[in-house]
A = this chain, B = another copy of it.
Amino acid sequence: MENTITSFSVISEKALIGKNVQIGNFCKIYDNVSIGDNTIIEDYCIIGRPTGKKEKQLVIGNNSIIRSHTVIYEGSIFESRLETGHHVLIRENTKAGENLRIGSYSDIEGDVIIGDYVRFHSYVHVGKGSKIGNFVWLYSLVTLTNDPLPPSLIEQPVVIEDGVVVCVNSTILPGAHLELGVFVSAGSKVTGNIPAGRIVTGNSQIVGHVSKLINPETGLKHPWMNHFYTKYPKETHERINLLREKILTTYKTKE
């Protein structure tokens, strides 16, 4: 990146900008912003867009990468190593843990709580008020809804616990609760409470335990922490292994 902080970007003097931060061309950085050290903000980004309300500061942790054409409102807090894809939108009052990765064109609608090491692929829509645990995966086109009688003023956001995987093009209906390590297969529509460790498919049909998900060619099987922990930093391996064991326990005791 050959960017410098000054080229065509409009940066508030009130913004708190850490050491060794790179800001691309054509960016807009507002007042109510704190950007951590070693963070990269690519071109055409809006950081700290005002909401018109009295919001908290937008805090972006150290070592983050905000890819081009991303818009982040004021009032959210991201711990270190946030990564956004291109064309991402994040509304106010989102609180996310370590190393959240958000795929391109994803839309986080605000008042959302997200744990550590969560990954979203592209076009993920996280409805207002959703609660998402640690080490969760939401694949492309996954939508977390929140209105059970649309349109209404009732809000029943989705709750997703640690280690859950929601595959491509699935819709999580209002008030659904996916317990620890649930696996939602592609194109599902999920409602109600899904017990820990279960596979869900179609219209909320439970079809077994995740430990039965095996790739015949490689012999690899779920919970995904069995084979995929290597993609996370070493300091997380113990947490991931504990999560794996907890999910395996849900099989032994109940089935």
Question: What is A's interface to B at a CB cutoff of 8 Å?
Answer: 1, 7-8, 10, 24-26, 28, 43-44, 46, 49-50, 68-69, 71, 85-87, 89, 104-105, 107, 119, 122-123, 125, 137, 139-141, 143, 145, 148-154, 165, 167-169, 171, 173, 186-187, 189, 213-215, 217-218, 220-222, 224, 227-228, 231
Contacts and interface: CB of A to CB of B under 8 A. Distances in A.
14 contacts: A26-B26, A44-B44, A87-B87, A87-B105, A89-B105, A107-B123, A139-B150, A145-B186, A149-B213, A149-B214, A151-B165, A151-B231, A154-B218, A187-B189
Contact of A46 (B68, B173, B214, B215): B68
Given A143-B140, A189-B187, A10 B28 contact: no
Given A137-B151, A139-B150, A43 B28 contact: yes
A-B residue pairs, 9 tightest by C-beta: A149-B215, A187-B189, A151-B228, A71-B86, A107-B122, A169-B171, A10-B25, A86-B89, A125-B140
A69 B50 contact: no
B189 A189 contact: no
Contact of A8 (B8, B165, B218): B8
A119 B165 CA distance: 31
Contacts of A1: 50
A231 B71 CA distance: 27
Contact of A137 (B43, B141, B150): B150
A111 to B, nearest CB: 16
A104 to B, nearest CB: 5
Contact of A228 (B44, B153, B220): B153
Nearest to A189: B187
